[in-house]
Structure 1
Amino acid sequence: MILSRRTLLAALAASASGAPALAQQAPEAQLVPIELVEDSLALPSAVRLGHKHGDVIMIEYFDYNCPWCRRSAGDLPALLKAEPELTYVLVNFAVLGIPSVTAHKAALAYLQLHGPERYLDLHLALFRLRGTVDGERALKEAERLGGDRGRLEEAANGERTTQWMKDAFTLGNSLGFVATPSFLVATQSYVGGMTLAQKREAIAQARG
């Protein structure tokens, strides 16, 4: 998988130690074409959570080595509880270097083998890890949750996983997502971290 150097450096900068400043102000909303939202929902790797047919759809592009993505994952159970009519969609978006690429390959392998119903457990488990999350650590968590090591490795290194990652990366670039996490709420995009309260405000605005 070829990563855009511009995107990678921008994402690294956004996720550096200065990122908590985002807590003071939500990212600026930008209107995006509905076709790109639909393309995001059509990604085979997209994991739908919450309401199956929610009145608002929120899509998060994330990286397992992004500090703000970790905070977002920590807020996810509370968000789903507070917003029962929300459809929340996770998109694996490995932009923070080779460890992230290998971690996401392992995560997508688990998704292929065990389905979206069990994916959230792995998602939250990987964000509970401290330090760099790479393929080996992701595989260990997947094994702990019942995955078979051999089958996981085979799927992680398969063409389907590679294509899923390329498709997400291409679409993220088309959306202008130069940092993680980045969000789509209806047809508005938000590039950068958002607090739980900021997410709920964006959802309320989408409801009009």
Structure 2
Amino acid sequence: MKRLLMGAAAAALLTAPVAATEIGDMSAAERQAFREEIRAYLLENPEVLMEAIAVLEQRQAEAEAEAQQLAVVENENALFNSAFDHVWGNPDGDVVIVEFVDYRCSFCRRAHPEVEELVAADGNIRIITKEFPILGEQSTLASQFAIATRVALGGEAYELVSDGLMAMRADVTELALARLATDLGLDSEAIFAAMDDPLVQATIDYNYELAQRMGITGTPSFVFGDQLVQGYVPLPNMQDIVAVLRDTAE
């Protein structure tokens, strides 16, 4: 904030007369007068501060967007071609979306049906789910169970369990997970046995490391093409992003 004030004041005082052309050439009295001019100008023109803040925020947003695009490019293979992740939707879709999820995340739960609606209605989206449990032990247990389902029973079973975990409101316990598997007609014993497979923890570790490299700290987080978006994205906004990606690709 101090730099912001100095920057705004310096810009404002381009119209204020001073006795010396360089700050270093000023006497103590001139410097004091200069400070008083700064204060007086800002008190008379407080909108200058708002203009300076707006410029600063715009520059910061542009720099952040550039950094995020660079992070996507640098981690392209890990994002789009990892064998650890489940791919659904249209495997040959012209638009690729990556989603980092935590089953205990309320915004992930809110986004889940909208993501499914987007993929189903569009028909030409390839989506990659990255297990990213960050909200405690229950999140980790849920993610381990989902990944173990994929290891033991395949992608279709994983999708059933993933949907079930997103809808689950009870505490995530082994008993609750076994009941979920039974309700879905899946072999819970096979899933629990697969939870000891090294691939389960390797998947979570891989996504943790990827998220750290990319500065992803929350869920849901999305990658739309080369655009990283952290946080919940409503369906209309996702549709707009997909449309822009297609227009850009043409």
TM range (shorter): 0.7 to 0.9
In 2: Cα distance, 1:205 partner to 1:125 partner = 32
2:216 is the counterpart of 1:181: no
Partner of 1:70: 109
Determine if the alignment matches structure 1 residue 199 to structure 2 residue 238: yes
- Structure 1, unmatched stretches of 5+, are 1-27
Query: Match for residue 183 of structure 2?
Result: 144
Return the alpha-carbon distance in structure 2 between the equivalents of residues 38 and 56 of structure 1. 16
* Counterpart residue identity of residue 42, structure 1: N
Aligned equivalent of 1:33, options 46, 53, 72: 72
The answer as to whether partners of 2:145 and 2:195 remain within 8 angstroms in 1 is: yes
Q: Which has the larger radius of gyration?
A: 2
**Cα distance in structure 2, aligned partners of 1:90 and 1:127:** 13
Corresponding residue SS for 1:52: coil
Aligned equivalent of 1:160, options 187, 193, 199: 199
CA contact (8 A) 1:103 1:136 kept: no
Q: Which amino acid letter does the alignment assign opposite residue 125 of structure 1? A: G
Match of 2:130 in 1: 91
Q: TM-score, normalised by structure 1?
A: 0.80
**Equivalents in 1 of 2:173, 2:136: separation in Å?**
10
Relative to structure 1, the CA distance from residue 67 to residue 152 in structure 2 (aligned partners, 3 Å threshold; closer, same or farther) is same
Tell me the equivalent position of 1:51: 90
C-alpha separation between the residues in 2 aligned to 1:35 and 1:118? 32
State the identity %. Answer: 25
Q: Which runs of 5+ in 2 are unaligned?
A: 1-63
Assess if the C-alpha contact under 8 Å between 2:118 and 2:235 holds in 1: yes
| 1:24 corresponds to | none
**What is the deviation of 1:65?**
0.3
| Paired AA for residue 169 in structure 1 | Y
1:87 offset after TM fit, Å?
A: 0.6
Structure 1 residues 153 and 42: alpha-carbon distance in aligned structure 2, compared to 1, 3 A threshold: same
Given the alignment, which residue of 219, 224, 229 partners 1:190? 229
**Structure 1 equivalent of residue 172 of structure 2:** 133
Number of residue pairs matched by the alignment: 181
How far 1:67 moved relative to its partner? 0.5
User: Deviations along 1:123-148, whole A, 9 cap, x unmatched?
Assistant: 11111111443554334322322332
Q: Name the CA shift for 1:184/1:158 in 2 (closer, same or farther; >3 Å).
A: same
Q: Is the 8 A contact 2:148 2:195 kept in 1?
A: yes
Counterparts in 2 of 1:189 and 1:139: CA distance versus 1, 3 Å = farther
Q: Distance in 1 between matches of 2:178 and 2:222?
A: 27
SS at 1:179 equivalent = coil
> Which structure is higher in RCO with an 8 Å CA cutoff and minimum separation 6?
1
1:11-22 aligned at under 5 Å gives the runs none
CA distance in 2, matches of 1:152, 1:39: 26
Q: 1:138 to 1:194 in 2, by over 3 A?
A: farther
CA RMSD of aligned residues (A): 1.8
**Residues of 1 paired with 2:191 and 2:109: CA distance?**
23
* Contact in 2 for aligned 1:48/1:90 (Cα 8 Å): yes
